[in-house]
């Protein structure tokens, strides 16, 4: 009997490792032991670039949400059977197309909750205490002792009480804030245990001194915080968004900030990323900007990448874990 050709090894592609997450990590060697591995050290923001990089892949590790796995791109990737998202949100992947094409999509739930919540609280504290403005004053040779805000005794409103929103609530309570939450599926046992109040999204927006958003981007949440909802906020309040930019109507938020309808905002995410040079947000003194790094700490990067590798290993075994679609 003639010898049959050996099966080709699986091909794993990282199309957008910029800045480097996989390359140079301990998990890179493990991935190379599992399959053939190709890492691209630049973003794949253009559909044609992404397609060229993943066309022959069996599995893809999505690092940056700027890579858009659209129906058009996926239908041209005939070998692709697994997209392992390095993150919680999977809004960059057309899940419907993946279901039709038999592509498994996995994520890494809960890995970054402490880091994102810390970033959200940092943004809230920094805006309230005018950290950015006072830093600039001192660097310019000036000195100011104008009163700043404090969060102790104020109300933290949380929109989205999953793992990140829950951790944010715990941090706010530790600061001495009252906490009111709205979410699609409230965990009343947890709420009773830690001491938060539940309300409608309108309740949260109208009563809170800080509103922090912790939702996934979906058809239900896209544009959820619109002009009408922003109008409910107090003129002394602060909006913090470390979730996804498109959850908030950015034009309406700009108007609210420019007119003083709300006092300030701390933003780690934007509808278009990177934020274009000269964007109106960059001209506002009452906005603190961060380049979508809330989840990026040494600790979370390591833990999340380990989960990604486990998801790929388990998928290869036929027992996929953390399956989204």
Interatomic CA distance for residues 192 and 294, integer angstroms = 28
Exposure string of 227-259, with b = 16+ CB inside 10 Å and e = fewer, is eebbebbbeebbbbbbbbbbbbbbebbbebbee
pLDDT tens digit sequence for 179-204: 999 999 999 999 999 999 999 999 99
299 burial via Cβ count (<10 Å: 0-12, 13-18, 19+): exposed
CATH 3.40.50.720 fits 11-111+298-317, yes or no: yes
Q: Using omega within 30 degrees of 0 as the cis cutoff, is the peptide bond preceding 118 cis?
A: no
- Catalytic residue positions, numbered: 244, 273, 292
Measured distance CA(70)–CA(10) in Å, rounded: 23
Q: What is the pLDDT of residue 210?
A: 98
**Does pLDDT of 7 surpass 70?**
no
CA gyration radius, the chain: 22
The model's pLDDT over 71-130, given as tens digits with 9 standing for 90+, comes to 999 999 999 999 999 999 999 999 999 999 999 999 999 999 999 999 999 999 999 999
DSSP secondary structure letter of residue 260: T
**Bridge partners, 266 (sequence order):** 240, 288
Residue 75 burial class via C-beta count within 10 angstroms: exposed 0-12, middle 13-18, buried 19 and up: middle
- CATH 3.40.50.720 residue spans of the chain: 11-111+298-317, 113-289
Contacts of 243 (CB under 8 A, 6+ apart): 89, 160, 164, 213, 214, 215, 216, 217, 269
- pLDDT for residue 134 is more than 70: yes
Q: Which CATH code for domain 113-289? A: 3.40.50.720
Say what the pLDDT of residue 2 is. 43
pLDDT of 45 > 80? The answer is yes
pTM: 0.92
Quote the percentage of the chain above a pLDDT of 90. Answer: 95
Residue 93, classed as helix, strand or coil, is strand
Question: Is the confidence at residue 39, as pLDDT, over 70?
Answer: yes
Of 199, 209, 217, which Cα lies nearest the Cα of 270? 217
Spatial contact of 239 and 261, defined as CB atoms under 8 Å apart: no
Evaluate whether 282 touches 254 at the Cβ level (below 8 Å): no
145 — pLDDT class (breaks 50, 70, 90):
confident
């Amino acid at each position: 009997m003639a010898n049959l050709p050996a099966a080709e090894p699986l091909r794993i592609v990282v199309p957008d490792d910029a800045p480097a997450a996989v390359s140079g990590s301990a998990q890179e060697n493990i991935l190379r032991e599992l399959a053939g591995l190709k890492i691209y050290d630049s973003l794949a923001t253009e559909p044609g670039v992404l397609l060229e990089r993943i066309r022959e892949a069996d599995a893809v590790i999505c690092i940056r949400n700027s890579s858009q796995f659209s129906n058009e791109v996926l239908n041209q990737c005939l070998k692709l059977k697994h997209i392992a998202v390095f993150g919680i949100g999977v809004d960059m992947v057309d899940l419907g197309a993946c279901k039709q094409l038999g592509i498994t999509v996995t994520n890494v739930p809960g890995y970054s909750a402490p880091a994102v919540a810390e970033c959200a609280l940092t943004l809230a504290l920094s805006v309230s205490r005018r950290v950015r403005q006072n830093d600039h004053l001192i660097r310019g040779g000036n000195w100011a002792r104008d009163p700043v805000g404090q969060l102790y005794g104020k109300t933290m409103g949380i929109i989205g009480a999953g793992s990140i929103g829950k951790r944010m609530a715990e941090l706010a309570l530790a600061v001495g804030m009252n906490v009111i939450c709205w979410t699609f599926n409230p965990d009343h046992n947890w709420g009773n245990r830690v001491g938060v109040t539940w309300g409608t999204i309108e309740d949260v927006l109208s009563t809170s001194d800080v509103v922090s958003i912790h939702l996934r981007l979906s058809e239900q949440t896209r544009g959820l915080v619109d002009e009408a909802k922003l109008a409910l906020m107090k003129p002394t309040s602060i909006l913090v968004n470390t979730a996804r930019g498109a959850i908030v109507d950015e034009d309406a938020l700009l108007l609210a900030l420019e007119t003083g309808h709300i006092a300030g905002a701390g933003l780690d995410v934007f509808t278009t990323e990177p934020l274009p040079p000269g964007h109106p947000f960059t001209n506002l003194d009452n906005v603190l900007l961060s380049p979508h790094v809330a989840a990026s700490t040494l600790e979370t990067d390591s833990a999340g990448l380990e989960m990604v590798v486990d998801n790929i290993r388990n998928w290869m075994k036929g027992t996929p874990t953390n399956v989204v679609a």
